[in-house]
Amino acid sequence: MTRLSPRAAAKKPPQAAAGQIRIIGGQWRGRKLPVPNSPGLRPTTDRVRETLFNWLAPVIQGARCLDCFAGSGALGLEALSRYAGSATLLEFERPVAQQLEKNLALLQGKGVVINTNALSWLAGDGQPFDVVFLDPPFRKGLLAETALLLEQRGWLADEAWIYVEAEAESAAADVPASWQLHREKVAGQAPVLSAAGYLIVLGLLATLIGDALLLLPRERVLYAIGAFFLSHLLYTLSFASQMTFSLFWPLPLALLAIGALLLAALWTRLEEMRWPIVTYVAMTLLMVWLAGEQYFLRSTDFGFSLLTGTSLLLLANVVWLINRYRFTFRAADAIVAFCYFSGHFLIVRSLYL
């Protein structure tokens, strides 16, 4: 049984909500919804939500979701925007629940708002949910009892994913030992790397090896291209491990056209480097394609960072190959350096989203 339990640290005492929330991804992306000015209501921030739904992307579509302490509805409504099958939002305060109902009706979402005490409701017999959001009021001692009811009363599907947002010092101690930690993050601090994150780090190291090979007194171009190929392969595996399959047809078609034009322009000049470079270009195009699918599937800052970063690496490779094998031009080195640095920076930046 897999459980997801990232943690967000409380930096300030709870304050009144700012008056609205913004849906950050999916079909209602950019929609702003009113939130009552209720003391203690603290909508999950855009940055934390984006990280969370990047993690949940492979499982959120069609999932039955439960938001145990809905408050502003930032989590439950975001899940519906990203094509969750349904969402049940539990909220104790009547004015807050009424506003949630209005927002849900405005969006015409497949959800239900229940004005109830979450613990009382969970004490009944349950129908299993695929994704559960647990964001109880801080320092009220609600997390442990809520988690126990979810576990004992049949509210969790066999492969349920659970998001816990709580004080950093309490989250691990207050959940059942049977729950398996998938990822965690303390808001505002460095990420805890997953396997996909380590692939990106290894890819960055591989590209540094390629740089070093090009700086040797006698260039080792073939070996450098091999190192760059490995770097792009590791990036591609990282992107592939975080996505569900979809296909935005214009992107691979555009990339195939770019690759064909580039190789046609260089073909007669490549000589013994022909097939290594063809293989390298193909891997680069595949890397950009998978990064682009991340963006066109979810349209998040995470996906945008990957797509922009890999596109800059593609541009750097195009300029480098043309400058080396077709014709030279003065600005080539500056363009390659800028695109190269910016591209890797944006890919590594995705680890923090």
pTM: predicted TM-score of the whole model, two decimal places:
0.56
Q: Write the burial class of residue 17 (CB in 10 Å: 0-12 exposed, 13-18 middle, 19+ buried).
A: buried
Q: Give CA–CA dist 135/215, Å, rounded.
A: 52
CATH number of 20-164: 3.40.50.150
- The three-state DSSP-derived secondary structure of 22-34 is ECCCHHHCCCEEE
- Is there a contact between 353 and 51 (Cβ–Cβ < 8 Å)? yes
Q: By the 8 A CB rule, do 300 and 53 touch?
A: yes
pLDDT at 269: 92
Residues spanned by CATH 3.40.50.150 within the chain? 20-164
User: How far, in Å, CA of 36 to CA of 92, rounded?
Assistant: 13
Distance from the first to the final alpha carbon of the chain: 26
Which pLDDT tens digit goes with each residue over 67-86? 999 999 999 999 999 999 99
Report yes or no: 46 and 24 within 8 Å, Cβ to Cβ: yes
Q: Which residue has the higher pLDDT, 166 or 87?
A: 87
Which residue, 264, 265, 255, 259, is CA-closest to 279?
259
3-state SS record for 220-231: CHHHHHHHHHHH
- % pLDDT > 90, the chain: 55
Answer for the pair 73, 151: CB distance below 8 angstroms, yes or no.
no
